[in-house]
Structures are given as C-alpha cells and as structure tokens.
C-alpha cells in the first residue's frame, strides 16, 4: 500500500526548517510548479554530506532552502506533482556552481526525502520515498535505517538487546520499513558480521503512529559516524482530529490536578496574554494550538500578574502532535508533567485508557480493574501509565497503595465510549476520604473517521503534518 498524505493539510505545510531556513517563492508556496490544481507531493530536504559546506537548495530554479548545514533536515514542502529539477549549491553562491543537479518525477499524494550525500568531491543527490500509510496496530511505529555514510563499508543495525534489525546495508541503501514497539529504544551500528560498535543512539524516543527514518551519517575513518533521525506522522494531524486551528499546530491541553490550589492561567513563552484559563482545580482546559518546537509555559494563579508564575515547564513537540500538560501537587508547591497523546486507531468497540498519579500522598499506587486487569503497577507520583485498549462500556477501577493489598480505597466506576481515549487522573479532593478520579477524554482517528473527518484520497492512507528532527543523544563512537 502506498502512503498518501492527508489532502486538507497541504496549504498549511510550509514548515520552519530545522537548522536551515525555507524561502517561500514569489506568490507563496503554491507558486512552485503544479501540473494540476490539488496535485501535489510533499518533499523534505536533507543535508547529509559530512565534509560539505552549508548549501542552498533550488526547485526549478527557485531557492527554497538557504544555508542548510550538516546534518539537517527541513520540514515538508508541498510541490506540484510531475517532473522537477532539484539543484543544490554552496551557500551564498549561484546556480552555476551547483554541486548536485537531478531531475525527479513526483507522484501526486506521495511523500519524498531528497538528500545531499557523499563527500564534497563526489556529491550526489539521493531520493527516498517515505511510507506514511496508516499504522493500524496500537502501540507500534514504523522504522527504517538508511546508510549514507561514504566509505563506511557494509553495516548491520541492531537494537540495544543485540537483535539485528537490518543487515548488509551498503552505501547508499535504505533498509525496508519494519514495525517496532513504540518505546525508548537503543540503536547500534556495527560492521557487517562484526561485534565492533561504531555508533549508538541511546533511548531513541519512538512514539506510536509515526514513521521514523534513521540515517547513518558521517565518516568511519575519522570516528564521526552517528545517527540522524527524522519522523513523519501516519495519522491526520491533531488539529483535524481534535478541532484545533491551525490543523498542523501542536495541540495542548492543561489538566489542573492540584486540588488544593486555586484556578490558574497559562502563558506562552514571554507573552503577556494568557493562552488558556482560568482553569479551576479538577478541570481540563480546552485543547489550544501551540507552535511546533520547544516553548515555555508559565502557570499563574488567578488574580496574579503574568510575571508571578508558580510553575513553568518546557514543551517540545512536533507539528501535528497532541499533549496533555498535567499540574500535580508537590507539597506546598506544584509540578508540571507533559504526556504525549496517542490519536491512533482503536479496534472496533474499544477505548484507550491510562492513569496518572496526582494524589497528595507520595506512595506509589496500583490500579486494578474489576476483571483483575492491572492498569498500573507501582505508579510513582506524577507518573502516567502506559495506555491499554479496553472494551467500551462501564468499568470499575480500584486504587491501592502499591505492595499493600490491605489498603484499598473505594472503587470508582467509569463509562468508556468506543473510539475515545481517556486520561484517568487520581487526585485528592479536600474533605473527601480516599482518592477520586478526574476523567478527561478526547477523540482518536477512529472516532474522527466515523464523524466524517476527511482522509486522503486513493487508498485511504495518511496525513503529513510537518515533522521535526527527532531529538537524538550524542552518538558514542566505537573503537
């Protein structure tokens, strides 16, 4: 199945470039040649040539990227379907000095990566098609590794547990996509059939419902091999599912779980105008749009000035992602936790559930359903459990102090609607014995599809909000 991007997102997809800058051509992004109205592909450009200077990138003679450095990637740029000329020149030069000059036919609705690879005296342009077809299995992401490290020889790629994921990759080869569990994952590169570790990425933050391209870049001979990762979503952007404008923004909602505190207002970065509030204890504010990338949120008590924040937190999310920001008690103060929202598909007749610990008491807790399903085991204060998919309907939840089955608080009933995801937040209400639950729900793509959210044409596959570079730890060079 070929992956096609979600048709209504295209006009919103002129993303800021990571470590570079996109230059909009005269007339806006749609001035890039189009063979037919609405017939477009999405293209991301990457500078992966280790010894090359910053470069400018041109499409059909128009500059679209200025000053891209190694290693960097742009967001996705919509370009009309059909044949185009792509040229890459040294920064601040002219097209006469282009280092790479290729032609590529772009198919309507498909997603591409065009990369500068090789060494300066032997540069070439490589084109890779990105699979953004929908991932229907919950808790799963899609991963491939692309070998673009010149003169590094044949490489094997393994996970931190030693399982070989890709083998005998040659330059410039892309391994086939494979499904991978959505959890922090160590990835290691080794020479084929050897144990020597050339580079490692620790705890790559893999999220469900995303496609990851992990490039092996740098040079083996000078011990600079490293990983460079980018990602693309495979469900409609959060704004389309949750009703937030613009649809390719970050969607963020605040849950006020510090029950002993008064209402709060939320401010973005250095702004003087609140983006949400007042949010009372025990309530969740509506999802609002945030710009992609890293930003600071400040939480200010009702009636105080914007500079009198009682808590701050950094939120770093890609366009199209959704997050809940939970304010939890911390003695006389509060702390703020951010959890990513899974908007992916649900099996028919099921709901998605997870629980967060925001009780005043600091002991870890267990959460057990009436059918003995363990929703959380030893959940620390401020932490959130992994999500589980459950049959819709009424469920009964018991909370207890972890490791002490004698301390069981009164059971709580929750009604689950199919196609929705639920955040169950255990809180301490003043004057009430035992814990209570805040129940916050949101739609998933399953519900959005039933309610008529438009999907891409053709085979019904997927969206493409503007992805960002995946934050990756510094590589560890082998010997």
pLDDT of the residue at 192: 94
Residue 461 has pLDDT above 50, yes or no: no
Residue 473 has pLDDT above 70, yes or no: no
Report the percent of the chain where pLDDT is more than 70. Answer: 84
pLDDT of the residue at 244: 86
Tokens of 157: 């790629």
CB contact set of 105 (below 8 Å; sequence gap of 6+): 82, 83, 84
pLDDT of the residue at 406: 61
Per residue in 319-368, pLDDT tens?
A: 788 999 999 998 888 999 999 998 877 888 999 999 999 998 888 999 98
The distance between the two most distant Cα atoms of the chain, rounded to a whole number of Å, is 78
Choosing among 2.20.25, 3.30.70, 3.40.1350, 2.60.40, the CATH entry for 342-451 is: 2.60.40
- SS3 letters for the chain? CCCCCCHHHHHHCCCCCECCEECCCCCCHHHCCCCCCCCEEEEEEEECCCCCCCEEEEECCEEEEEEECCCEECCCEEEECEEEEEEEEECCCCHHHCCEEEEEEECCCCEEEEEEECCHHHCEEEEEEECCCCCCCCCEEEEEEEECCCCCCCEEEEECCCCEEEEEECCCCECCCEEEECCCEEEEEEECCCCCCCEEEEEECCCCCEEEEEEEECCCCCCCCEEEEEEEECCCCHHHHHCCCCCCCEEEEEEECCCCCCCEEEEECCCCCCCEEEECCCCECCCEEECCEEEEEEEEECCCCCCCCCEEEEEEECCCCEEEEEEEEECCEEEEEEEECCCCCCCCCEEEEEEEEECCCCCCEEEEECCCCEEEEEECCCCECCCEEEECEEEEEEEEECCCCCCECCCEEEEECCCEEEEEEEECCCCCCCCEEEEEEEECHHHHHHCCCCCCCCCCCCCCCCCCECCCCCCCCCC
Q: Indicate the range of 135-139, 169-173, 263-267, 447-451 predicted with least confidence.
A: 447-451
Tokens of 37: 């109205």
Residue 79 has pLDDT above 70, yes or no: yes
Give start-end residues of each CATH 2.60.40.2890 domain in the chain. 244-340
Closest CA to 476 of 217, 222, 228, 200: 200
Per residue in 252-306, pLDDT tens?
A: 999 999 998 999 999 999 998 999 999 999 999 999 999 888 899 999 999 999 8
Residue 381 has pLDDT above 70, yes or no: yes
pLDDT interval class at 3 (50, 70, 90): very low
Per residue in 82-96, pLDDT tens?
A: 999 999 999 888 888
Tell me what the mean pLDDT of segment 457-469 comes to.
25
pLDDT interval class at 179 (50, 70, 90): very high
pLDDT interval class at 445 (50, 70, 90): confident
pLDDT of the residue at 358: 92
pLDDT of the residue at 405: 67
* Tally of CA atoms within 13 A in the half-sphere of 371 that contains its CB: 5
The better pLDDT of the pair 248, 339 is held by: 339
Whole-angstrom distance, CA of residue 88 vs CA of residue 55 = 6
Domain 244-340 part of CATH 2.60.40.2890: yes
Task: Tell me the pTM.
Answer: 0.60
pLDDT of the residue at 264: 95
Tokens of 79: 């370009």
pLDDT of the residue at 21: 36
């Amino acid at each position: 199945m070929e992956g096609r991007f979600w048709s209504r997102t295209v006009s919103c997809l002129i993303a800021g470039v990571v470590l570079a800058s996109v230059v909009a051509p005269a007339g806006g992004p749609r001035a890039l040649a189009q063979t037919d109205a609405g017939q477009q592909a999405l293209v991301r450009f990457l500078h992966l040539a280790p010894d090359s200077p910053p470069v400018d990138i041109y499409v059909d003679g128009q500059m679209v990227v200025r000053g891209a450095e190694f290693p960097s990637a742009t967001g996705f740029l919509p370009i009309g379907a059909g044949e185009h000329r792509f040229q890459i020149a040294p920064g601040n030069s002219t097209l006469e000095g282009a280092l790479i000059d290729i032609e590529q036919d772009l198919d309507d609705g498909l997603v591409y990566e065009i990369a500068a690879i090789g060494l300066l005296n032997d540069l070439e342009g490589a084109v890779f098609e990105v699979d953004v077809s929908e991932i229907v299995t919950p808790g799963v992401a899609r991963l491939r590794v692309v070998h673009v490290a010149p003169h590094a020889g044949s490489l094997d790629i393994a996970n931190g547990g030693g399982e070989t994921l890709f083998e005998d990759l040659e330059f410039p080869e892309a391994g086939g996509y494979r499904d991978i569990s959505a959890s922090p994952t160590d990835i290691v590169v080794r020479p084929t059939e050897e144990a020597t570790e050339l580079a490692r990425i620790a705890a790559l933050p893999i999220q469900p419902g995303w496609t990851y391209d992990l490039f092996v870049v740098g040079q083996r001979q000078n011990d600079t091999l490293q990983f460079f990762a980018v990602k693309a979503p495979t469900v409609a952007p959060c704004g389309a599912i949750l009703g937030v404008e613009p649809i390719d923004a970050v969607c963020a909602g605040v849950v006020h779980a510090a029950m002993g505190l008064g209402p709060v207002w939320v401010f973005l970065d250095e702004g003087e105008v609140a983006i949400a509030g007042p949010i009372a204890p025990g309530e969740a504010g509506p999802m609002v749009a945030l710009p992609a990338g890293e930003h600071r949120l400040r939480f200010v008590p009702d009636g105080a000035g914007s500079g009198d924040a009682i808590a701050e937190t950094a939120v770093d999310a890609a366009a199209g992602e959704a997050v809940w920001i939970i304010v939890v008690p911390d003695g006389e103060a509060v702390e703020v936790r951010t959890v990513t929202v899974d908007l992916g598909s649900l099996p028919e007749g099921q709901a998605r559930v997870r629980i967060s610990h925001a009780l005043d008491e600091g002991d870890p807790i267990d959460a057990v359903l009436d059918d003995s399903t363990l929703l959380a085991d030893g959940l620390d204060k401020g932490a959130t459990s992994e999500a589980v998919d459950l049959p819709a309907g009424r469920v009964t939840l018991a909370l207890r102090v972890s490791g002490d089955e004698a301390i069981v608080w009164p059971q709580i009933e929750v009604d689950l609607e199919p196609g929705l995801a639920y955040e169950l937040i255990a809180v301490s209400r003043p004057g009430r014995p035992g814990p209570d639950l805040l129940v916050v729900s949101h739609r998933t793509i399953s519900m959005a599809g039933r309610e008529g959210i438009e999907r891409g044409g053709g085979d019904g596959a997927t969206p493409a909000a503007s992805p960002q570079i995946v934050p990756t730890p510094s590589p560890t060079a082998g010997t």
